[in-house]
Structure 1
Amino acid sequence: MADMASQQNTPAPRSAPQSAPHPAQLTVGFDLDMTLIDSRPGIRAAYEALSAETGTFIDADLAVTRLGPPLDQELAHWFPEERIPEMADRYREIYPTHAIAPTLAMPGAREAVAAVQAQGGRAIVVTAKHEPNAKLHLDHLGIAPDAVIGWLWAEAKAEALREHGATVYVGDHTGDVRGARTAGALSVAVPTGPCAPDELHAEGADIVLGDLTDFPEWLASYRAERT
């Protein structure tokens, strides 16, 4: 899912992929929050810490029900506009201390990434999250994609998907569906985040799976049909 959990206002420049994928090579993109990881416990803890530090009420339980959009959009519910850049920076600073350890892998996450790689493909993560924090999550949980690209939400994800030659993008949010469609990639959705199956279908998802545990079987069928 894309992710509100840590986007900066000025993204750091991203490096190009080390080697351009062969046109026939399978490359699958995955969203992070609520697609590969259940970051709700960690994000809740980070918001509670920010609230305690600033003395500003943040309904952390409500905030974690709407993961997906960039961090600034959530902070706008709790802080005046002029304080959002400062609060976003502080949230990112305290995030590793509070949010990494409580976060869990979603069911089937490791197997989904491994299934792509077992087919000789590349699995990449494209997320709205602050990229260093995204990498901390993946390293902590032992999920090993071939590339991680942060700072991108919704249609902007198409930039990285095209750059890396992704033909499939897997996410939990309608913003992920829009990103896949903008890139011309197949949109595979999982209703494990804030968006129900009918919302994902209505946005234009090509495939809606129950969760990532269904992904390896779907991928094998998809590859068999293509070959």
Structure 2
Amino acid sequence: MEGMSSHPLTVGFDLDMTLIDSRRGIHAAYQALSAETGTYIDADLVVTRLGPPLETELAEWFPEAEIPAMRDRYREIYPTYAIEPSTAMAGAAEAVAAVRRLGGRAIVVTAKNQPDAVRHLVHLGIEPDAVIGWLWAEAKAEALREYGASVYVGDHVGDVRGALTAGALSVAVPTGPISADELRAAGADVILTDLTEFPAWLEGYAAGVAAGA
């Protein structure tokens, strides 16, 4: 287990709608799955509620017994349809770079499966120090604790819960499906408009830590 002693500043980031805008790509992947299976899926609705695990969304469209097969098929077609159309959120690369500039370590902790998370980041040229997939909400605390993260940045109330469970500062950006008021009510410690505000905030936070604030 790697702790904070060797990396005094470790910042975790969520992926979908925090670092990347994956709506167009996910929309295309669900449309392809719908066409292939003949099952109606409202892809417009799907992309308004990104964040929870894939199985949660599939359960809205498929019987429980079919979910494992649909999950596997979705993941098979995902790289074909979803990587290219997805874009970086404003300030994403700069936010990761800001952590490095202060001598820290940036990690990505996401509910998305790890291989696809890595594909997105490589495609967009965003290079965190580690990518940990398969973790949602409170389960994100596992990775945040393992890597000694003192800050976790996300767009969903599940991200807030993960940060608080880990004892990390919850920094929230209302760039996904959840409003600033909802994020604040969930317990977020800091609300930023988007990641373009993160580097300046991080400098102030790091200065406070250094000063023992």
Corresponding residue for 2:145?
162
Distance, in Å, in 2 between the alignment partners of 1:65 and 1:75 is: 14
Match of 2:163 among 169, 180, 192: 180
Corresponding residue for 1:216?
199
Corresponding residue for 2:18?
35
Instruction: Answer yes or no: is 1:116 the counterpart of 2:99.
Output: yes
Instruction: Answer yes or no: is 1:145 the counterpart of 2:128.
Output: yes
The 8 Å contact of residues 23 and 165 in structure 1, kept in 2 or not, is answered as no
Distance, in Å, in 2 between the alignment partners of 1:92 and 1:150 is: 14
Distance, in Å, in 1 between the alignment partners of 2:137 and 2:72 is: 22
Q: Deviations over 1:77-127 (max 9, x none)?
A: 110010000000000000000000000000000000000011000000000
Distance, in Å, in 2 between the alignment partners of 1:22 and 1:212 is: 27
Corresponding residue for 2:117?
134
Unaligned runs of 5+ in 1: 1-15
Instruction: Answer yes or no: is 1:125 the counterpart of 2:108.
Output: yes
Corresponding residue for 1:194?
177
Question: 3-state SS of the aligned residue for 1:194?
Answer: coil
The 8 Å contact of residues 7 and 105 in structure 2, kept in 1 or not, is answered as no
Match of 2:33 among 34, 40, 50: 50
Q: CA RMSD in A?
A: 1.0
The 8 Å contact of residues 7 and 104 in structure 2, kept in 1 or not, is answered as no
Q: Which amino acid aligns with 1:146?
A: D
Question: 3-state SS of the aligned residue for 1:151?
Answer: coil
Match of 2:81 among 98, 101, 106: 98
Q: Deviations over 1:123-150 (max 9, x none)?
A: 0000000100000000000000000000
Q: What TM-score, normalized by structure 1, do the two folds share?
A: 0.91
Corresponding residue for 2:50?
67
Distance, in Å, in 1 between the alignment partners of 2:182 and 2:76 is: 34
Deviation at residue 22 of structure 1 after TM alignment: 2.1
Distance, in Å, in 2 between the alignment partners of 1:145 and 1:119 is: 14
Distance, in Å, in 2 between the alignment partners of 1:21 and 1:49 is: 44
Distance, in Å, in 1 between the alignment partners of 2:105 and 2:7 is: 12
Question: 3-state SS of the aligned residue for 1:34?
Answer: coil
